Structure 1
Amino acid sequence: MSRRNMHRKRQTEVELFPFLSVLACTIGTLILLIVVMTTQALEPQEAVVVAKVDEDGKGANKTKTPLYIECREDGFVLYPDKEFAPRADFYDKESSFRKMIANLKANKDKEYLIVILRPDGLEMFNKLRNLVKGEGIDIGYEPLEFGLELKIES
């Protein structure tokens, strides 16, 4: 045997099969993960229930009663009557929206405001928050996605 042939026999070949099998398993796992996440994201949610709870999360708030207002791009929805108040009602002192805020101010040791915030209602939320904080009214908020119906639980 010549030296050239001996040198060729000593060279080791690199096997890519283990690398390719690990790569195939990783791609399969990622595809499965994407399918599961997409399925969960596309499940239709019809309604969201907002319930009042105390600081411990165990029951109803015993010191103050919440009043709910939903902020949208075109105005506010006042609960529990689901009365719509357009943007102009924010500036009208005689509107049902302003009367609700005045009533909250008068009863701020018994009531507080929970604002339901839709993605397009950020501008109205900021105006409402500034108004309410200026009046010394306690406020909380809960973001809510587009297309979900809101149910207020008493």
Structure 2
Amino acid sequence: MRRRQSHPPQLDLFPFLSILACTIGTLILLVVVISASSLGRERTNVQILARENAQNEGRTPRYLECRREGVIIHPEKVLVREADLGKPTSTLAILLANLRRQGDREYIIIAVRPDGFDCFEEVRYQAERAGVALGYEPFNAEWELCVPAPGRSNCP
């Protein structure tokens, strides 16, 4: 007498797993290609947006850019050399005095270049001493600061 063994039917998952592995590989390749293409694009014209919150609501931002050679006051693009930052007759000191007199109508946003941290420390010290509100953003060396024209919220 022959004994009958009852084995459940076997299900082969190899085709499913191979399709799943190919799909995952394709998605990884797609992520790598998209990431590499976005890294290759240079952002040359960048605007620092003023954030509307309770502290600066209704205020107009004034833009400064700290570099190795000094601070650039925008939109006029006046350079105040680092050696002149501490002088009471510098353009920066005059700007801070005007902002202090205006009260809470304007504040400063500072773009800090990688080589401009020493300049930034001096500008921040002077602004805090003058009682002027300020904000700051690190700024890549290759980017160009886009400052909106007075009365506009975006760059051209």
Q: How does 1:80-119 map to 2 (within 5 A)?
A: 80-119=75-114
Output the amino acid matched with 1:113.
I
The structural deviation recorded for 1:39 is 1.0
Are 1:70 and 2:68 matched, yes or no?
no
* Residue from 35, 38, 57 that aligns with 1:37: 35
Once the two structures are superposed, residues 68-127 of structure 1 have per-residue CA deviations (whole angstroms, 9 ceiling, x without a partner) of 110112211101101111101212221212211221222232221111111221222122
How high is the TM-score relative to the length of structure 1?
Answer: 0.71
Q: Distance in 2 between matches of 1:76 and 1:148?
A: 16
Q: How does 1:1-154 map to 2 (within 5 A)?
A: 29-52=27-50, 54-55=52-53, 63-154=58-149
User: Does the 8 A contact of 1:51 with 1:153 survive in 2?
Assistant: no
* CA separation of 1:28 and 1:53: change in aligned 2, threshold 3 A: closer
**Residues paired across the two proteins, number:** 138
Output the amino acid matched with 1:81.
E
How high is the TM-score relative to the length of structure 2?
Answer: 0.70
Structure 1, gaps ≥5 residues long: 1-17
Once the two structures are superposed, residues 13-68 of structure 1 have per-residue CA deviations (whole angstroms, 9 ceiling, x without a partner) of xxxxx999977776664444333212101112220123445328xxxx66322211
Q: The residue matched to 2:53 in structure 1 has which SS?
A: coil
Q: Distance in 1 between matches of 2:86 and 2:75?
A: 22
User: Does the 8 A contact of 1:50 with 1:153 survive in 2?
Assistant: no
Output the amino acid matched with 2:52.
D
Q: Distance in 2 between matches of 1:108 and 1:42?
A: 44
Question: If each structure's strand is expressed as a fraction of its own residues, which one has the higher value?
Answer: 1
Structure 2, gaps ≥5 residues long: 1-15, 150-156
Question: If each structure's helix is expressed as a fraction of its own residues, which one has the higher value?
Answer: 1
